[in-house]
Amino acid sequence: MTSTDKADGKSEKGNFWFKIPLWKRILGALILGAVVGSIWGEGAENIKWIGDIFIRLIRMIVVPLVFVTLVSGIVAMGDPKKLGSIGVKTMGLYVGTTAFAIVIGLAIATAIQPGTGIDMMGATAQALAPVMPLGERLMGIIPQNPVAALANGDILAVIFFAIIFGSGIMLAGSKGQPVAKFMDSATEVMLKIIHMIMEVAPFGVFALIAATTGAKGISALADVIPLALTLIVGFVLHIVVTHGGIIKFMLKLPATRFFKDIIDAQLIAFSTSSSSATMPVTMAVAEENLGIKTPVASSVIPLGATINMDGTGIYVGVVAIFTAQSLGIDLSLVDYGLIALTTTLVSIGTAAVPSASLFLLAAVLGVIGVSAEQTALVVGFLLPFDRPLDMMRTVVNVTGDLAVATAVAKSEGEFDEEIFKADPKV
Distance CA 402, CA 400 (A): 5
* pLDDT value of position 397: 92
Three-class secondary structure of residue 308 per DSSP = coil
Note the pLDDT of residue 45.
Answer: 84
- Contacting residues for 271 by C-beta, under 8 A, at least 6 apart: 26, 30, 51, 204, 205, 208, 209, 391
Which residues on neighbouring strands pair with residue 126, listed in sequence order? none
Q: Is residue 146 part of a domain?
A: yes
Residue 231 lies in a domain: yes
pLDDT given at position 118:
67
Whole-Å CA distances, 372 to 130, 232, 318, 340, 385: 11, 27, 19, 20, 21
Alpha-carbon span 223 to 107, nearest angstrom = 22
Integer Cα distance of 354 and 370 in angstroms: 24
The strand pairing partners of 415, in sequence order, are 292
Pairwise CA distance, residues 219 & 227, whole Å = 14
pLDDT number for residue 408: 94
Is the CB of residue 342 less than 8 Å from the CB of residue 112? no
Which residue range(s) make up the domain with 359? 39-421
Q: Evaluate whether 374 touches 123 at the Cβ level (below 8 Å).
A: no
Q: Is residue 392 part of a domain?
A: yes
Q: Across-strand partners of 292?
A: 415
Q: Residue 33 in contact with residue 208, Cβ under 8 Å?
A: yes
DSSP 162-228: HHHHHHHHHHHGGGGHHHHHHHHHHHHHHHHHHHHHHTTHHHHHHHHHHHHHHHH-GGGGGGGHHHH
The C-alpha angle with vertex 346 and arms to 68 and 163, in degrees rounded to 5, equals: 20
Do residues 190 and 297 make contact, with C-beta atoms less than 8 angstroms apart?
A: no
| pLDDT number for residue 219 | 53
The pLDDT value given to residue 183: 86
User: Is residue 26, in this structure, part of any structural domain at all?
Assistant: no
Q: What is the per-residue pLDDT for 266?
A: 92
* Residue 29 counted as domain residue: no
pLDDT at residue 78, rounded to an integer: 65
Closest CA to 69 of 293, 276, 294: 294
Task: Let me know if residue 304 belongs to a domain.
Answer: yes
CA gap 336, 33 in Å, rounded: 40
pLDDT at 132: 57
DSSP code at position 423: P
Does residue 11 belong to any structural domain of this protein? Answer: no
State phi, psi for 328 to the nearest 5 degrees: 75, 30
Q: How many other β-carbons are positioned within 10 Å of the β-carbon of residue 202?
A: 24
Q: Are 365 and 373 in contact (CB under 8 A)?
A: no
Total domains in the fold of the chain? 1
SS3 label, residue 424: coil
**Per-residue confidence of the chain (426 residues) as pLDDT tens digits?**
555 555 555 555 557 777 777 777 887 888 888 888 888 888 888 888 888 888 788 778 878 877 887 788 777 766 667 777 887 888 889 889 988 998 999 999 999 888 777 666 555 545 555 555 656 666 777 888 988 888 887 777 887 888 889 888 888 888 888 998 898 888 788 878 877 887 888 888 888 888 877 766 555 455 567 888 899 999 999 999 999 999 999 999 999 999 999 998 999 888 887 787 788 889 889 999 999 998 888 888 887 877 788 888 898 889 889 888 888 888 888 888 888 887 776 665 555 444 556 656 766 787 787 777 777 777 777 766 677 788 888 899 999 999 999 999 999 889 999 999 887 666
What amino acid occupies position 417?
A: E
Query: For position 116, which CATH number holds?
Result: 1.10.3860.10
CB 420 within 8 A of CB 285: no
| Within a domain: 13 | no
Distance CA 394, CA 275 (A): 6
Contact 332, 368 (CB under 8 A): no
pTM here? 0.73
Alpha carbon distance 391, 274 (integer Å): 8
